[in-house]
Structure 1
Amino acid sequence: MLRVASVPASHVYVRHLSDPRGRDGVSRLPDPAPADGRTVPGGWWPPMMLEPGWVSDNHALFDVFHVHFGFDAIDADVLTAVMQELKSQHKPLVYTVHDLRNPHHRDPEAHILQQDVLIAAADTLITLTPGAAQEIRRRWDKDATVLPHPHVLGRQHIEARRPPTDRFVVGVHVKSLRANMDPVPVLESLTEITAKLPGAELSIDIHDEVFSPDSHWFSPKIGDTVRDFARHDHVRVTEHPYFSDDELWDYLSSLSASVLPYRFGTHSGWLEACYDLGTAVIAPTCGFYNQQRPCHQFTFTEHEFDETSLRVAVESLHAEWLSGVDPPRSTWHQRRTERQMLAAAHRHIYERVSA
């Protein structure tokens, strides 16, 4: 049995890298619980495995160290110390490059420094799309194995019938207005676009913590701007706490199309969930979303927004909706087969770096 210290282990991406039949011969250590109880849903924040000393104290428990997420707030010099511990204990490092640009950081510099450390130390790199692999090659002169994102939802939701509707619902969830989001110009355009389409409505969701002065995400000016879109008869604005998983799946299933208002980014678990549920996605041209799963695109980057491309994407999906054409959707057979492939591929990588 190959023992892997994954950072983190409880994230859905990592959990779905294992063989669904348990035949991959890989055991992943559970996430160590923080002593002061600081966690997020899933229980993996902050990642104790990336604290100096953890590797030295626990090196006998694992064969391979695999980093995915969770190093956002860790200084590059601290990461360097952890990498040195791995080297001194002769433990190989695998790093999956999910984000070439951290969606939570307006300034990319910290993430660049963190990745400089991780990529230099890694025995093997993995990423999700050919475009990301090409960018890794260009920036760091290292190759990355391309492996797709596993399913996000379980079989029950993937095989469930979508709820019937007579409305073409375009959804934008602005969440808590994280750094890579710029929803207002997108919402202004979508309000105009959907007003002209028969049976169309615009659904806007926002986390209520945006309006709480005690919240880190307090942003009343933009929040009030989002609220104001409700003055249009065909626009619905909903404020609510974070969805539970089931609430999120119900929300995504209620949409005909989900528009991602990201100025920068790389890959998306949200896109994967929509693919599992049969909800169309209109993704920005930043990042490599269109290489990840089938989706429509509109031109949206830190420096450019082309409203015409957004209009074309929405009108195209609306025409398909009127014609009864369903968006691409995963099947459980496809996802299960893909997951078996991912488990075998990761097992092979772990064996190779451990040799």
Structure 2
Amino acid sequence: MASIPYADPYVDAVLPRGVVRIGTADEPSPWLDIRHLAAHVDAVDVVHLHVGYGHLDAAALEAWAEELQRLGVPLVVTVHQLRDPAQVSPGRRDASLAAVLATAEVVFTLTPGAADEIAERYGRTAIVVAHPSITVADPELGAERGLVGVRVGAASGAVPDPPALVRAALSGAVSGGGRLRILVEDVAAPGLDPAIVALADEGGVELVRYRAGEWTAALQRLHVAVLPERYGTHSRDVEICRDVGTRVVAPSCGWFADQWSEVVPYANDEHGGLDPVSLAAAIGAALTRPMPRPADQVWREGQRAAVQDVHAEIYVQVAGDRTWA
């Protein structure tokens, strides 16, 4: 089985035992190159596309999918994002998904809401599989009751006005009897809005920089984590928070609340923008609830095994139906 990408936490978690993953961790994946496909067609039974194809336009993806068909290699697609937070306009993502979903043998997605949207927009039935556990809580690491955290960086299409978001989050944290921590990845720190830096200098909020590999611990220290993007579909951070026991306040776009029952929504999407009153109220409501316990590891391991079994069944099915070029 050729997975695109070759590896990442989700891809690793859903890989069934006994399935041989071939390829390398090169980016972009060589399996997205039509010439590579043709040269190595005898080495692969199934191609599973997850993410990592944003650099290709719809025409290139359509040609790639048609080449897979011509070679007789079945394509499985997992739709993680119906609306890509990394792309300003939805048009490119829509066209890309239309290109690959048109020829996919099987479509997976992570929530019932996303499956309904895929059926409505693309006419495809998607198999819903839960997002499996990708981490475990650190038993030596405590969380602070009342501590609200939000990750910010430079302004972007997904978060066009970071200071406005921070002010609304601060209002919610203070009104709920808590305090606000701004989380900034080290590499993003130079692009932080001066208004946020000034607010931290004045003592209004706490500014904490974290390095790669420290994100899970940063989330575990919180009572509430705020997802700031105004578009997106699913979030890996929701699953990390579930595993470590941190409540989530998530925007109304996408299907974050379908992922976990402990998600508190607030109004924020690309059509209406951020409603600061809604965000403040959601944070206040989240702080009044008890801090959730980390997910039961035995249950999460069973869930992951079930997801792997579903993938194994699909791979066997589509590989058995393969036609050889």
Task: Give the structure-2-normalised TM-score.
Answer: 0.91
Task: Give SS of 2:282's match.
Answer: helix
Matched with 1:237 is 207
Q: How many residues align?
A: 317
Alpha-carbon displacement from aligned partner over 1:275-331 (angstroms, at most 9, x marks no partner) = 1110111000100000011211111111323333323322222223xxxx2325311
CA drift at 1:150: 1.2
Structure-1 separation of matches of 2:20 and 2:317: 16
Does residue 300 of the first structure (1) align with residue 297 of the second (2)?
no
1:313 aligns with 2:282: yes
Cα gap change, 1:197 to 1:116, in 2 (>3 Å): closer
Instruction: Tell me by how many angstroms 1:239 deviates.
Output: 4.1
Question: Residue 57 of structure 1 aligns to which amino acid in structure 2?
Answer: A
d(CA) in 2 for partners of 1:178, 1:69: 21
Deviations 1:150-193 (A, max 9, x none): 1111xxx336254154x511001114555312433221112223
Name the structure 2 match of 1:280.
Answer: 247
Are the structure 2 counterparts of residues 252 and 56 from structure 1 closer, same or farther at C-alpha, using a change threshold of 3 Å?
same
2:243 maps to amino acid: D
- Structure 2 distance, partners of 1:31, 1:108, is 30
Higher mean Cα deviation, 77-86 or 6-15? 77-86
Q: What secondary structure does 1:283 align onto?
A: strand
In structure 2, C-alpha distance between the alignment counterparts of 1:32 and 1:306, rounded to whole Å: 41
Flag the 1:158–1:87 CA change in 2: closer, same or farther, 3 A. Answer: same
1:151-170 residue pairs with structure 2 within 5 A? 151-153=133-135, 157-158=136-137, 160=139, 162-163=141-142, 165=144, 167-170=145-148
Does the 8 Å contact 2:163/2:193 carry over to 1?
no
**2:151 is matched with which residue: 173, 184, 195?**
173
Aligned-residue offset at 1:349: 1.1
Q: Which of 1, 5, 10 is 2:7 aligned to? A: 10
Q: What whole-Å deviation, never above 9, does each CA across 1:29-54 have from its counterpart, x for those lacking one?
A: 24353xxxxxxxxxxx2222112211
The 8 Å contact of residues 7 and 31 in structure 1, kept in 2 or not, is answered as: no
Residue 298 of structure 2, aligned match among 330, 333, 343: 333
Matched residue, 2:227: 260
* Of 18, 22, 47, the match for 1:29: 22
Deviations 1:205-250 (A, max 9, x none): 22344465xxxxxx4xx6223212214434112345xx232x1122
* Deviations 1:65-108, CA, capped at 9 Å, x for gaps: 11000001112222222212211211100000111011101111
Q: Is the 8 A contact 1:10 1:30 kept in 2?
A: no
- Structure 2 partner of 1:345: 310
Distance 1:273 1:308 in 2: 27
1:289 to 250, 256, 268: 256
What TM-score comes out, normalization by structure 1 length?
0.83
Identify unmatched segments of 5+ residues in structure 1: 34-44, 213-218
Is the 8 Å Cα contact of residues 6 and 29 (structure 2) preserved in structure 1? no
Corresponding residue number in structure 1 for 2:37: 55
Deviates more, 1:337-346 or 1:72-81: 72-81
The AA in structure 1 aligned to 2:234 is H
Checking the alignment, whether the CA contact within 8 Å between 1:92 and 1:122 is kept in structure 2 is yes
Change (3 A) 1:187 1:32: closer
Q: Which residue of 1 aligns with 2:58?
A: 76
Q: SS state of the match for residue 296, structure 1?
A: strand
| Structure 1 residue 252: Cα displacement | 0.9
Alignment of 1:82-97 (within 5 A): 82-97=64-79
Equivalent AA in structure 1 for residue 286 of structure 2: L
Stretches of structure 2 that go unaligned for 5 or more consecutive residues are: none
- 1:204 equivalent to 2:182? Answer yes
* Letter matched to residue 217 of structure 2: D
Identity %: 29
Q: Provide the C-alpha distance between the structure 1 equivalents of 2:98 and 2:194, rounded to a whole number of angstroms.
A: 39
Question: Which of the numbers 168, 174, 189 marks the counterpart of 2:168?
Answer: 189
User: Offset at 1:118?
Assistant: 0.4
